[in-house]
Amino acid sequence: MKTLGLALEEHRGFGPGFDFVRLFLASGVVLWHCFPITAGSARLIEATPFWFIVSSMVPMFFAVSGFLVIASATRVPVGPFLMNRVARIFPALIVVVGLMALAVGPLISSVPPGIYFESSRLWRYLATGLGLVSFDLPGVFEANPYARVVNGSLWTVPHEILCYLMVAGLMILGLAGRWWALTLLFALIFLLAFLGQWAPVGTLPGPVEMLVRSPHFAQGSKIIPFFLLGAIFYLARGRIPLDWRLAALSLVAVMAIGTLVDPSARKGALLWLAAGPPLTYLTVWAGMVRLPKPNFLGGGDFSYGVYLWHFPILQLLVMAFGIGSWWVLGLASILPVMLVAAASWHFVEKPALAWRKRHSLAGARAAKG
């Protein structure tokens, strides 16, 4: 039976469906965010059976990232690995943060420019470009239903950076290619998340208590394990079958979990432990098969631009036109989001990656000389 490893070899190390999967997931996040941005909260969809589908979009993103990033970690030294991650993440992030804070924000803020530029909230928001995430700007989107949140999507950025640093640490220790090391790390995070949800407050050792009660850990423990699962799947690729029947079974399992699970456990560690393997397999399987990719994308990867830019664009559309329907907002956002994502790819992300590639080649030639 064909394995993930054999399929990767056939496609020269990169699954032909991953571009589609990333764009599909990014589009799903856009649609999901239309609900809270028009209604002021996500309770409408969280009360339906579709809650698990939308809640799975970001974890699946992290599974894709883990699968692809660990592949890079096994091919290059830690220095170039980190430089590659910096070149992929930060240029587009800095641009979206800078433009919203320094160009768009002053134009739409309800406070005078002098107060706006003197506000500490502006400088805290600018630090988001370095991964220190803040969500509000002075006087921006204060009258929107989802008030004062400029770019809610960026909550995942620190966790993505942490994943890269964990991989770098494993590379330094010589463990990045060991599936058991990542499995132990996955088990540790799950154990801490389980303790945070089930252990009575004040019963854990001081540092553990502080960690598991932290809001940042509570958020990260729902997505970082999927990064690790994606990485584990890559490292075990020679033993994992690529089979549509397993994908179908995984889909049934995920749907069953989302439909039958007790609502009180919807955000629990046990839920994500149960859903993690089938959801990761489904994601990786889709990335390894040929899926249609819109012709207008060419060779570009617009998913990161869609993810970074869609939230402020949705907020701007609601502010400008008073859109109160999630599906109207979704339709209205398609063209502007895709245009801005294309601009981000062609004028920011692609040139940054090309610069990094040229720098790497120049360094390799210098080393040989």
What percentage of the chain reaches a pLDDT higher than 70?
Answer: 91
Tokens of 279: 């959801």
- Predicted confidence band of residue 367 (pLDDT cuts 50, 70, 90): very low
- Predicted confidence band of residue 296 (pLDDT cuts 50, 70, 90): low
Q: Give yes or no for residue 88 having a pLDDT over 50.
A: yes
For residue range 332-363, list pLDDT tens digits in order. 999 999 999 999 999 999 999 999 888 765 55
Tokens of 99: 């433009």
For residue range 197-213, list pLDDT tens digits in order. 888 988 999 999 999 99
Burial of 201 (0-12, 13-18, 19+ CB in 10 A): exposed
What percentage of the chain reaches a pLDDT higher than 90?
Answer: 75
**Which residues does 335 contact at the CB level (< 8 Å), separation at least 6?**
none
- 3-class DSSP string for the chain: CCEHHHHHHHCCCCCCCHHHHHHHHHHHHHHHHHHHHHHCCCHHHHCCCCHHHHHCHHHHHHHHHHHHHHHHHCCCCHHHHHHHHHHHHHHHHHHHHHHHHHHHHHHHCCCCHHHHHHCHHHHHHHHHHHCCCCCCCCCCCCCCCCCCCCCHHHHHHHHHHHHHHHHHHHHHCCCCCCHHHHHHHHHHHHHHHHHHHHCCCCCCCHHHHHHHCCHHHHHHCCCHHHHHHHHHHHHCCCCCECCHHHHHHHHHHHHHHHHHCCHHHCCCHHHHHHHHHHHHHHHHHHHHCCCCCCHHHCCCCCHHHHHHHHHHHHHHHHHHHCCCCHHHHHHHHHHHHHHHHHHHHHHHHHHHHHHHHHHHHHHHHHHHC
Averaged pLDDT for residues 223-252: 96
74 versus 267: which is more confidently predicted? 74
Beta carbons within 10 angstroms of residue 22's beta carbon: 22
Beta carbons within 10 angstroms of residue 53's beta carbon: 15
Q: What is the largest CA-CA distance in the chain?
A: 67
Cβ–Cβ < 8 Å for 367, 77:
no
278 versus 1: which is more confidently predicted? 278
Averaged pLDDT for residues 301-323: 97
Which pLDDT score, from 0 to 100, does residue 364 have?
Answer: 47
Q: Give yes or no for residue 126 having a pLDDT over 80.
A: yes
Tokens of 313: 């664009």
Averaged pLDDT for residues 293-304: 76
Tokens of 364: 């390799």
Cβ–Cβ < 8 Å for 34, 324:
no
Which pLDDT score, from 0 to 100, does residue 83 have?
Answer: 95
Averaged pLDDT for residues 126-137: 97
Q: What is the pTM of this model?
A: 0.93
Q: Give the sign of the dihedral formed by CA 229, CA 233, CA 239, CA 242.
A: positive
Which pLDDT score, from 0 to 100, does residue 48 have?
Answer: 64
Q: Give yes or no for residue 249 having a pLDDT over 70.
A: yes
Which pLDDT score, from 0 to 100, does residue 343 have?
Answer: 96
- Predicted confidence band of residue 82 (pLDDT cuts 50, 70, 90): very high
Cβ–Cβ < 8 Å for 192, 209:
no
Cβ–Cβ < 8 Å for 329, 37:
yes
For residue range 23-53, list pLDDT tens digits in order. 999 999 999 999 999 988 776 666 666 677 7
For residue range 161-199, list pLDDT tens digits in order. 999 999 999 999 999 999 999 999 999 999 999 898 888
CA angle at 20 for the pair 180 and 182, rounded to the nearest 5°: 10
Alpha carbons 164 and 152: distance in angstroms, whole number? 21
Which pLDDT score, from 0 to 100, does residue 271 have?
Answer: 77
Q: Which of 174, 287, 188 is nearest to 228 (CA)?
A: 188
Mean pLDDT of the chain: 91
Cβ–Cβ < 8 Å for 23, 297:
yes
Q: Give yes or no for residue 223 having a pLDDT over 80.
A: yes
